[in-house]
Structure 1
Amino acid sequence: MTHLPTHDRYDYSAITQRAAYDWPGGKRLAVYVGLNLEHFAFGDGLGAELAPGGPQPDVLNYSWRDYGNRVGAWRMLDMFNALEMPVSVLANSVMYDYAPELMAAFSARGDEIVGHGRTNAERQSVLPPAEEEALIREATGVLAQAEGTAPKGWLSPWIAESPVTPDLLKKAGYSYTLNWCMDDQPIWLRTDHGPLLSIPYPQEVNDIPSIVARKDSAASFADMIIDNFDEMLEQSHGQPLVMGIALHPYLVGQPYRLRHLRRALTHICAHRDDIWITQAGSIHDVIAKAMPARNDHSPT
């Protein structure tokens, strides 16, 4: 029998055959927004592109991304305030040096700050283990000093993991990761240092794959959010589920896209009495109490 290479982080588990539990208030659908606040090196490194990049310095794409920090994120903050909607801020640590006012504004709302590397101009997956560990330690230290507490969760820039990333995250004190998109429920991962919770982070209801890769329109992306929510709300009658919405201000903070995003989030908030609008860290806290990892670090 052929045995394929495996990660050995979790076992197969059909979602229809798992133990039942509730989110706070007896709710069955948890919804959170993952807002990516990112900064990029000028004239070097990685970055999403509005148009095919030319020789460095690539002023067009650099300044397009920077619009998110200067304008888009502030418009989105006003929208979240109007909707009374909390968010999980996935923050590059260099944001505290580049745009401290923006980080302070989201922190003042009580929003959760999640580790998101140093910058999205780099990938941690290409580094030797010692250098990757140093990257995680550096980014974590900046967030912990600025916020007064270390982040619970981590999302790697570009969802880039080395074979030892989960082990390094757990060793660094992290409680959950958003890197794995294989489920609609939180799943415990095995690491060399104990269990690490994988919280669903979407690669479909995510503006980069939708808008940058597939070239979906603003209306189509908003409709995708609404359709995904409506379907998951029906599915959640049978079991608890998590719906994440991944957003980047340089994309959906553009005025014409923001108008459609507001339409989608208003639709979700209209169901506030039926769902749990929350943050990723709060999802971790419920699971850690209701469905703790077993001694063998097996998944739920």
Structure 2
Amino acid sequence: MPAQYLGPLPDHGRFDYLPITRRPRYRWPGGAGLAVYLGFNLEHFAFGEGMGAGIGPGSPQPDVLNFSWREYGNRVGAWRCLDLFSQLGMPAAALINTALYSHCPELVAACVARGDELVGHGHSNAERQGVLAEADERALLLHCRQQMQQHSGQAPAGWLSPWISESVHTPDLLAETGYAYTLNWCHDDQPLPMRTRGGAALWSVPYPQELNDIPMVIARQMDGKDFAQLIIDNLQEMLDQTRAPDAPALVMGIALHPYIVGQPYRLRHLRRALQAVAAARDAGEVWMTTPGAICGHAAKVAGPG
């Protein structure tokens, strides 16, 4: 084996390794050990081109089958999900494509009216961010902030790249364009600071790749009732891990896409899972919140690291 492969491997330089057992202890507001948030992905896709999750094998464009299945989420599924969130008194983080402002502005307005946090999620999920030149990527980040401020009255504090596609410069550009946190990295159960080239603060807030309906339901073909049980099992295990006074405070995100969980039979199972979260919240064991609030609290009590 060549000698260059026997030393340290290439590294991103964004953070050091630090096991969760060796970190300062803190709690969430109200004394809870577990913070839970809903990452509600509201997306729009170009017709006849670009990327997108599929319920069936891709067809030559225009791929009406898969496009119309995804569009169901904006027309029907999202509204059913928002009703469920409101019934349970749950805030959400609406991860929005800014193309929604020209396509279905009523949907974004409904999230704003509920008091949900708006998180930047690119212009369209038909495109990957990581292939952009640095200047174009910066322009995308600034465009999304400007559009959300103009149309919704709030500039986003957080960002999730479409398809979690990053360039080597993405964390630097996020910090330089005014974002406080990223959801792109799924390497931990706690929010952690990242290094940027200019030294500006950027936090990584955990975003789930397992408690996420796309990889579970679409990629692994998990049934709706099993996905709901996955959420419940994860909740119960993380509650067990955080009950002791000296246990680390943890974050549990639940990533949802309305064209998937907004289907009636899946929504019925999601209701059961979120009722379990609501019961833990009402018992004082869970802080039901948003990723922006998680970032803000962690920055106060955990420090820059």
Q: Distance in 1 between matches of 2:86 and 2:65?
A: 31
Q: How does 1:65-144 map to 2 (within 5 A)?
A: 65-144=70-149
CA distance in 1: counterparts of 2:100 and 2:228, whole angstroms: 27
Pairing partner for 1:178 from 165, 183, 205: 183
* Residues 1:44 and 2:49 aligned together: yes
Cα distance in 2 for partners of 1:148, 1:252 equals: 28
- How far the C-alpha of 1:195 sits from its partner, in A, is 2.3
Give TM-score, length-normalised by structure 1: 0.97
Q: How many pairs were matched up?
A: 294
Q: Which position in structure 1 is the counterpart of 2:3?
A: none
Query: 2:13 matched to which residue of 1?
Result: 8
Of residues 204, 207, 215 in structure 2, which corresponds to 1:201? 207
Q: 1:229 aligns with which of 226, 235, 246?
A: 235
Give the match for residue 275 of structure 2.
266
4+ aligned runs moved over 3 Å, structure 1:
none
Task: Give 2:165's aligned residue.
Answer: 160
Paired AA for residue 242 in structure 2 = S
How does the TM-score come out when normalised to structure 2? 0.95
The corresponding residue for 2:288 is 277
Counterparts of 1:205 and 1:280, CA distance in 2: 15
Give 2:259's aligned residue. 250
1:239 to 222, 235, 248: 248
Alignment gaps of 5+ in structure 1: 294-299
The percent of aligned pairs where both chains have the same amino acid is 59
What is the CA–CA distance in structure 2 between the aligned matches of 1:140 and 1:61, rounded to whole Å? 29
State how far apart, in whole Å, the 2-side matches of 1:133 and 1:274 are. 40
**Post-superposition offset of 1:27:** 0.9
User: In 1, distance between residues paired with 2:154 and 2:208?
Assistant: 26
Superimposed CA distance per residue, residues 116-148 of structure 1 (whole angstroms, 9 cap, x where no aligned partner): 000000011001101111111111211111222
Partners of 1:149 and 1:113 in 2: how far apart? 8
Q: Displacement of 1:149 after TM fit?
A: 2.4
Structure 2 unaligned segments of length 5 or more: list them: 1-5
1:22 corresponds to 2:27: yes
State the distance in 2 between where 1:101 and 1:127 align.
Answer: 30
Distance in 1, matches of 2:274 and 2:111, equals: 18
Map 1:214-225; keep pairs closer than 5 Å.
Answer: 214-225=220-231
Counterpart code for 2:258:
P
C-alpha RMSD of matched pairs (Å) = 0.8
Output the CA distance in 2 between the equivalents of 1:186 and 1:65.
Answer: 31
